[in-house]
Structure 1
Amino acid sequence: MRRRTGMLIAGAGVLVWGEWLNWRWSRALVANGEGSTEAVVVLGYRNPQPTANFINRWRVRAGIRSVAIDTRVIFSGGATSGGAAEARLMADYAKSVLEFDGAVLLEDQSATTWENITNVIPLLEDVDRIKIVSQPAHALKARAYLRRQRPDLAERLVRADDYRPGEWTLVKPLLALYGLWTLRGLKAGERKISRRRPRSRRSS
């Protein structure tokens, strides 16, 4: 009985740990954000099949539910294994299945997260708020890359709706382990939860 109780407690602890880490990552390198325009950048995942796979479908749904104001949704990701670009597959899913009729832009040349950010920067110059959507660790990595490439644009980063308590709960420990590995190159300051602060207005 004690052994079973101990296993249950340990299992619950692992789930709480995975939940906490993903929660923390979703709140790093973001600010309050002000303004009337925003861009939601949805990062693609390798997708050799002819339709959006499970992970890309979830990322699209998270991107659509992140839309708040006058928003453009940017799908970012190139072709995998000679198939269609991830960006195209995600956009098709958003329009044909989710019936999203908002503004959509495609960035279909990227093969890495660094390239995702490099290639979407021209599409972000004129917006007030930027949301990057993926699994929390991956989205944090992308925000850190934007901070390295364009710190002025990184000041416009705000939270996306890609973390929700209880969503993916059973796999969040695995996502947390993978996230710790993929974020190993980030500096300590790029992992900290951002202090909520008013953003200064850009000069007109």
Structure 2
Amino acid sequence: MRRRTGLATAGAAALVWGEWLNWRWSRALVGSGVGASEAVVVLGYRNPQSTANFVNRWRVRAGIRSVAADGARGTRVIFSGGPTSNGAAEAQLMADYAKSVLEYDGTVLLEDRSATTWENITNVIPLLEGVDRIKIVSQPAHALKARAYLRRQRPDLAARVVRADDYRPGEWMVGKPLLALYGLWTLRGLTAEERKVSL
């Protein structure tokens, strides 16, 4: 009985820890944002099949729900991701899913050359010029890494970054401890300043 209680306590603690870390990451390197126009950047994930995989489908949904509720003037959704093993670009697969399944009919732009997160940011920069607010969508740790890369490459654009709707309490809850562990590993190159929560 004690062992079961101990396992249940450890499991609950892992869930809370994973939730808390993902919450923190979703609030790091973001501002409050002003202005009417926005860009929502959705980062792709390895996609060897000919349609968007589970992770990319979730990222597209999070990207679409990140579009300002007031339908911000000039909102553009940018799908970023290069060719996969089947030849199609992740960006195109995500855009196809957004249009055909989610019936998104807003402005969509594609960045279809990137193979890494650094390249995602480098290649979307020209598409971010002139917008007032920038949202970067992925799992919280990956989105934070991308925001840090934008800050390193273009601090002026990074100052326009606001929170995306890619973190929701309880979403991916069972997987969040694993995402948190993986996130700690992938974010090890970030400075303490880049991990600082923006309140």
TM bin, normalised by shorter chain, reads over 0.9
Give the partner amino acid of 1:175: L
Q: Pick from 170, 175, 191 the counterpart of residue 174 of structure 2.
A: 170
Deviation at 1:80, TM superposition (A): 1.5
List structure 1 runs of 4+ shifted beyond 4 angstroms: none
How far apart are the structure 2 equivalents of 1:8 and 1:101?
46
How far apart are the structure 1 equivalents of 2:45 and 2:142?
10
For residue 122 of structure 1, what is the aligned residue in structure 2? 126
2:32 corresponds to 1:32:
yes
* RMSD (Å) for aligned C-alpha atoms: 0.7
For residue 81 of structure 2, what is the aligned residue in structure 1? 77
Deviations 1:43-100 (A, max 9, x none): 0001111000000000000000000023100000000224200000000000000000
Aligned length: 195
For residue 43 of structure 1, what is the aligned residue in structure 2? 43
For residue 23 of structure 2, what is the aligned residue in structure 1? 23
How far apart are the structure 2 equivalents of 1:108 and 1:22?
28
Q: Pick from 101, 107, 111 the counterpart of residue 107 of structure 1.
A: 111
Deviation at 1:108, TM superposition (A): 0.3
Deviations 1:112-146 (A, max 9, x none): 00000000000101100000000000000000000
Give the partner amino acid of 1:143: R
Q: TM-score, normalised by structure 1?
A: 0.94
For residue 182 of structure 1, what is the aligned residue in structure 2? 186
Q: Is the 8 A contact 2:44 2:56 kept in 1?
A: yes
Q: Which runs of 5+ in 1 are unaligned?
A: 196-204
Q: Is the 8 A contact 1:49 1:83 kept in 2?
A: no
Q: TM-score, normalised by structure 2?
A: 0.97
Deviations 1:165-189 (A, max 9, x none): 0000000000000000000110110
For residue 52 of structure 2, what is the aligned residue in structure 1? 52
For residue 97 of structure 2, what is the aligned residue in structure 1? 93
How far apart are the structure 1 equivalents of 2:190 and 2:7?
33
Give the partner amino acid of 2:139: Q
Q: Is the 8 A contact 1:39 1:130 kept in 2?
A: yes
Give the partner amino acid of 2:147: R
Give the partner amino acid of 2:151: R
